[in-house]
Structure 1
Amino acid sequence: MTDDGPPRLTRLSFHGPLSDARATALVRRLAAARPRTVLDIGCGWGELLLRVLEAVPGARGTGVDVNGEGLARGRRAAGPRGLADRVEFAEESALGTRRGPADLVLCLGASQALSTAASPTAEALHELRRLVADDGRVLLGEGFWERPPAPHELARMWPEASAADHCDLGALLDLAVAAGFRPEWTETASRDEWEAFESGYQADAEVWLAAHPRHPSAAAVRDRLDRHRAQWMAYRGVLGLAYLTLVPVAR
């Protein structure tokens, strides 16, 4: 905690509702196929990418994101784990990327990185089929509606939130099949994972704000925290996140 402003996301291992227990199981399953190349779309700081590389000696990975701060965190984490020579963190757009095909493609909460559509899931799935090797795997983390959102809930979510932003879980699986995949494994984030993520997302700044209520940045930080908390309360129990392990259908 400093006088310059709140620290950023130090309470989170992953930038999403993903527990260590689920991550361990995912890595074990994905590593069993012994991927030689791993591509992480919208990687943030690439923690899951690094864990896969640790589990598959000799595999090489690339994380792509437009957020330089997250990429720098990933590079710092790679060194002490002996992975600096096996991973690249590239600050660039993933739209139309030529980084594939890879044996394993990760895309966790980042389908918007592959499409400019207002509802990017379908187009992103087709892009993921292009980016994965024919005998590879895709791990997609994608939002879905656990139940139809009410108008008053949508009004309090992210700006211009619409019921068309997501579909239900069954329709999401149908989109994956239509894009050329079969679902090997389907799982969804639990309420505990969501609450740990949302609390951790805010915690650093909340503690800083309590200690620095008259800091020049305090008003802006307070507005951001209050706005995000209100959005979370609107989509809590309404928005789900699916983790789909997808197998490409042979062409």
Structure 2
Amino acid sequence: MERSRRSQLAHAHHPIAAPLDDDAVRRLIGRAVTRDGARLLDLGCGQAEWLIRALEAHPGATAVGVDIAGNALAEARAQADARGVGDRLELLEASAADFTSDRPFDVVISVGAVHAFGGLLPTLATAREHLAPGGSVLVGDAYFLTDPTPEAVEMLGDYEDLATTVENIAADGWAPVYGHLSTRHELDDYEWYWTGSLAEWALDHPDDPDSAAALEASAVHRTEWLRGYRDCFGFHTLVLRPTKG
């Protein structure tokens, strides 16, 4: 089953595509986007839910979303048009790491997409290239709540604990001005949505060529979560401002 299709189906009922509830998303957008005329950029935007919600909250803002998944961008376009912000949202099917622009952005977003840049600090380095003076970066990524098992590291990657993660960000020339740590409810809710939405689609579409693969992917992911990384996985979403050029 093609990865971008699986991701779109798994996020059908949770389009923010990260373990955050609506109140957390609203607060983070409010702290990152501080004026209505802001220019926003989401690198690895998926279905562009962060941008759509920001545009809904800030009628004078404009936004650009970049992603390699054409199916996700098609859904983003449909949602943006249906919710009345389509005329202020530009969507580009391209590599987020290779995106260029001749104008800077007041807010650069990359939540759950740092793999596209090779890690958190490379993501921030790319964001810095696009950031206007006085701008903010809204970034979200994993960290380890407790010492992970070797199996968890193999599944997720070699993350740091929260304190080390924030220290590395600060040493790289960034000041956190706001942050959210996903709660146990948010983390579990996200996984139930991911696995459940995929299984639900498979059961509702038994004749689709991807049905069996989707059901298997749901089951495998659920086991990896419950047996492998549930107790050690955390997720931070931070609003950052540069302390140096």
Q: State TM-score, norm by structure 1.
A: 0.85
Is residue 108 of structure 2 the alignment partner of residue 105 of structure 1? yes
User: Does structure 1 retain, via aligned residues, the 8 Å contact 2:36–2:60?
Assistant: no
The answer for the alignment partner of 1:88 in structure 2 is: 90
Aligned partners of 2:34, 2:208: CA distance in 1, in Å?
Answer: 50
Q: State TM-score, norm by structure 2.
A: 0.87
How many angstroms does 1:199 deviate by?
1.1
How many angstroms does 1:204 deviate by?
2.7
Is residue 242 of structure 2 the alignment partner of residue 239 of structure 1? no
Which of 178, 185, 188 aligns to 1:192? It is 185
User: Does structure 1 retain, via aligned residues, the 8 Å contact 2:33–2:107?
Assistant: no
- Provide closer, same or farther for how the CA distance between residues 208 and 106 of structure 1 changes in structure 2, counting only shifts above 3 A: closer
The answer for the alignment partner of 2:142 in structure 1 is: 143
Is residue 196 of structure 2 the alignment partner of residue 203 of structure 1? yes
1:190 partner amino acid: T
How many angstroms does 1:150 deviate by?
1.4
Aligned partners of 1:212, 1:36: CA distance in 2, in Å?
Answer: 42
- Provide closer, same or farther for how the CA distance between residues 224 and 23 of structure 1 changes in structure 2, counting only shifts above 3 A: same
Aligned length: 237
SS in 2 for 1:79: helix
Q: How does 1:4-19 map to 2 (within 5 A)?
A: 8=9, 9-19=11-21
The answer for the alignment partner of 2:161 in structure 1 is: 168
- Provide closer, same or farther for how the CA distance between residues 220 and 248 of structure 1 changes in structure 2, counting only shifts above 3 A: same
Aligned partners of 1:152, 1:82: CA distance in 2, in Å?
Answer: 45
Determine which structure has more spread, i.e. the larger CA radius of gyration: 1
User: Does structure 1 retain, via aligned residues, the 8 Å contact 2:202–2:212?
Assistant: no
SS in 2 for 1:57: coil
User: Does structure 1 retain, via aligned residues, the 8 Å contact 2:143–2:159?
Assistant: yes
- Provide closer, same or farther for how the CA distance between residues 101 and 176 of structure 1 changes in structure 2, counting only shifts above 3 A: farther
2:59 partner amino acid: P
Aligned partners of 1:215, 1:130: CA distance in 2, in Å?
Answer: 43
- Provide closer, same or farther for how the CA distance between residues 211 and 246 of structure 1 changes in structure 2, counting only shifts above 3 A: closer
Aligned partners of 1:214, 1:85: CA distance in 2, in Å?
Answer: 37
The runs of at least 4 consecutive aligned structure 1 residues that moved more than 6 Å come to 212-215
Aligned partners of 1:216, 1:36: CA distance in 2, in Å?
Answer: 44
User: Does structure 2 retain, via aligned residues, the 8 Å contact 1:35–1:136?
Assistant: no
1:246 partner amino acid: L
User: Does structure 2 retain, via aligned residues, the 8 Å contact 1:39–1:62?
Assistant: yes
In structure 1, list runs of 5 or more residues that go unmatched.
Answer: none
How many angstroms does 1:91 deviate by?
0.5
The answer for the alignment partner of 1:53 in structure 2 is: 55
Deviations 1:172-230 (A, max 9, x none): 11222232211101221111111111111122332344466687654323321121112
In structure 2, list runs of 5 or more residues that go unmatched.
Answer: none
- Provide closer, same or farther for how the CA distance between residues 218 and 77 of structure 1 changes in structure 2, counting only shifts above 3 A: closer
Report the RMSD for the aligned CA atoms in angstroms. Answer: 2.4
Q: Which moved more, 1:53-62 or 1:134-143?
A: 53-62
- Provide closer, same or farther for how the CA distance between residues 152 and 40 of structure 1 changes in structure 2, counting only shifts above 3 A: closer
How many angstroms does 1:83 deviate by?
1.2
- Provide closer, same or farther for how the CA distance between residues 90 and 207 of structure 1 changes in structure 2, counting only shifts above 3 A: same
Which of 78, 81, 104 aligns to 2:80? It is 78
The structure that is helix-richer by fraction is 2
Is residue 183 of structure 2 the alignment partner of residue 180 of structure 1? no
Q: Which moved more, 1:77-86 or 1:198-207?
A: 198-207
SS in 2 for 1:85: helix
Percent pairwise identity: 32
